[in-house]
Amino acid sequence: MFLVMNSVFFFCFLYSCLISVSGDNDPDMMNSRLEALEHELQALKLDLLETKTRNSAQDAKINSQESEIQDLKNQLSIRTSGSTYIRWGRKTCPVVNGTSLVYAGFTAGRDYRQAGSGVNTLCLPHDPESAPAGLPSSSGFGRLYGSEYDFSFKNIAVNDDVPCAVCFVHHASSSMMIPAKHSCPLGWTKQYSGFLTSDSSLTNPVYYGSEYLCLHGNPEYMTDGARQYNNDGRLFFPVQAVCGSLPCPPYKDSQTVACVVCIM
């Protein structure tokens, strides 16, 4: 607009000058000059329109790039935030709360008869890779075994192998397992519930103990290998409450302990 107004003023100025310098007031000469000025003004208007068009295209490109940058930031935020947990006794993750499967695998730990090796339970992937070459030979290695259920429940039976799934919740900052509950506190969201498991408390044979894990309430078994073949290894047993130092009520003696996994 500024350019058009300047052009108009320029046109009027030249026109007045034309009249003043044309002493004989020749109409043909004046019309010729007027047409030239009109053509020049029209060219200026076209240049201004093209400039506006280019600016509009640039604005649209800038808006598109800003939108793409924001989308990438959102995706990066999703990928770099969240929380993981292991779903014991299942091969997949729940399709809720923006949860995705990181990997599925075999539940593994130390043999129940061994006092050494690790005490925590692992979820081993289906596609293991080699350790660094050149490790020293030694008889003092820790040992890692697969896992079996040592009880029957729903679809599983004694000696079935135990699956696991590592799950990632995109829109969560933390996860936790709560024993003796099947619901989550206010503000937390349930991922799955089930019952508490551990090693056996029997003393003959001696069981060396394992961590308490929350087994899914509808557990599955591994289909790799022969089902119900007794390989032992890391064994899973349900956990029962024992009254005494544990108050009853609210707990009940010999009652199986529930559990739930929650996210926030």
How far is the C-alpha of 252 from the C-alpha of 180, rounded, in Å?
A: 11
Give pLDDT tens digits for 9-45. Answer: 554 554 455 455 444 567 777 777 777 888 788 888 8
- What contacts 125, CB < 8 A, 6 or more positions away? 103, 104, 105
Phi and psi angles of residue 53, each rounded to the nearest 5 degrees, phi first? -65, -45
The region that residue 158 occupies, defined by phi over 0 for left and psi between -120 and 50 for alpha, beta otherwise, is beta
Is it the case that residue 254 has pLDDT exceeding 90? yes
Q: pTM for the full model?
A: 0.68
Q: Tell me, what's the pLDDT at 260?
A: 98
Q: Tell me, what's the pLDDT at 247?
A: 94
Mean pLDDT to the nearest integer, 173-186: 95
How far is the C-alpha of 120 from the C-alpha of 211, rounded, in Å?
A: 6
Give pLDDT tens digits for 184-193. Answer: 999 999 999 9
The letter for the amino acid at 62 is: I
State yes or no: cis peptide before 250, omega within 30 of 0. yes
Q: Alpha-carbon torsion 17, 23, 28, 29, what sign?
A: negative
Map out the domains of the chain as residue ranges.
Answer: 2-79, 83-126+144-264
Give pLDDT tens digits for 80-125. Answer: 578 999 999 999 999 888 899 999 999 999 888 888 788 899 999 9
Q: Tell me, what's the pLDDT at 196?
A: 96
What DSSP line would sit under 113-178, residue for residue?
Answer: T-SSS-SS-EEEESS--PPPTTPPP-S-----EEEEESS-BTTB-TTPBPEEEEEEETT-S-EEEE
What residues form DSSP beta bridges with 190? 262
Q: Which residue has the higher pLDDT, 21 or 264?
A: 264
What DSSP line would sit under 38-79, residue for residue?
Answer: HHHHHHHHHHHHHHHHHHHHHHHHHHHHHHHHHHHHHHHHHH
Minimal CA–CA distance to 199: which of 110, 125, 138, 89?
Answer: 110
Give pLDDT tens digits for 203-232. Answer: 778 888 889 999 999 999 998 755 667 888
Q: Tell me, what's the pLDDT at 78?
A: 53
